[in-house]
Structure 1
Amino acid sequence: MKVAGFGCRPDTPAEALRDALTRTGAQDLAAIATIPARAVELTALAQALDLPLRLTEVRGVTTPTRSERVQALHETGSVAEAAALSACGSDARIIVTRVTSSCGRATAAIAESEETP
């Protein structure tokens, strides 16, 4: 299964989230994921894509990329990567590291696992 994880700033518009997702090139997603604090921003996208929204804890999740700002705020290197990994299951791996929307307000990453949705 594939899960798209998202990180974003408060009040990020849906267009920025879609842009970040498009930049990952992902297809055949089983779900999208983010932290509980960003549920409002991601709910409309999940509904538009007809995918479940998984809210997940990211603290302590090791990620391939690292932002010092995100590390200080969320105790992980990338909210997008950590959310994707956490929501995808115990054998998950990142197949697309975080990409940033053109406006810089959203990031998306894709994780994949052998688990079924």
Structure 2
Amino acid sequence: MKQLALRIAGFGFRREATLASLGQALDQLADQYGAIDKLAAAHSMLPLVEELGRLRSIEVIAVADAELPTVITLTHSAQSLQARGTGSVAEAVALLAAGPNARLVGPRIISADRQATVALAKGITE
């Protein structure tokens, strides 16, 4: 079977974040790393990411909030650790959505308005 590398963009964001915040962060990520195959978000953060996915015609993967603390991330945000039990929601979501043996391409990217973060993970699918 042929294996494909999936490129998953995982999001984390504050309650005040807007669709523009997420879109700008995604554009930065794509400018830096190239095309994105799918978007991902924790269940509790899904509506805004689903809206972005609809607008950009990109499939969205939901990740269980309870799984976030199980992931070791590159970033160690004190605020994220306190609120969600992980150093970076964006990095954790990207890794969980990309599946076993996934790896982060780099640390999360922060939107210009500092309301959203996005991270890219590569996963293998058959």
How does the TM-score come out when normalised to structure 2? Answer: 0.86
In structure 2, the residue matched to 1:39 is 46
Structural mapping, 1:5-44, within 5 Å:
5-24=10-29, 25-44=32-51
| 1:42-80 alpha-carbon deviations (Å, 9 max, x no partner) | 111011121111111312211011101101111111000
Percent of counterpart pairs with the same letter? 28
Larger mean CA deviation between 76-85 and 29-38 belongs to 29-38
Larger mean CA deviation between 24-33 and 102-111 belongs to 24-33
Does residue 1:81 correspond to 2:81, yes or no? no
2 CA distance for matches of 1:52 and 1:10? 22
Question: Which aligned segments of 4 or more residues in structure 1 are displaced greater than 6 angstroms?
Answer: none
Unaligned 5+ segments in structure 2 are 1-5
Structural mapping, 1:31-110, within 5 Å:
31-57=38-64, 58-110=68-120
1 CA distance for matches of 2:106 and 2:22? 16
Structure 2 counterpart of 1:21, which letter? L
Give the alignment's Cα RMSD to 1 decimal: 1.3
Cα shift at 1:37: 1.0
How many aligned positions are there? 116
Larger Rg: 1 or 2?
2
Larger mean CA deviation between 53-62 and 23-32 belongs to 23-32
Cα shift at 1:11: 4.5
Is the 1:11–1:41 Cα contact (8 Å) retained in structure 2?
no
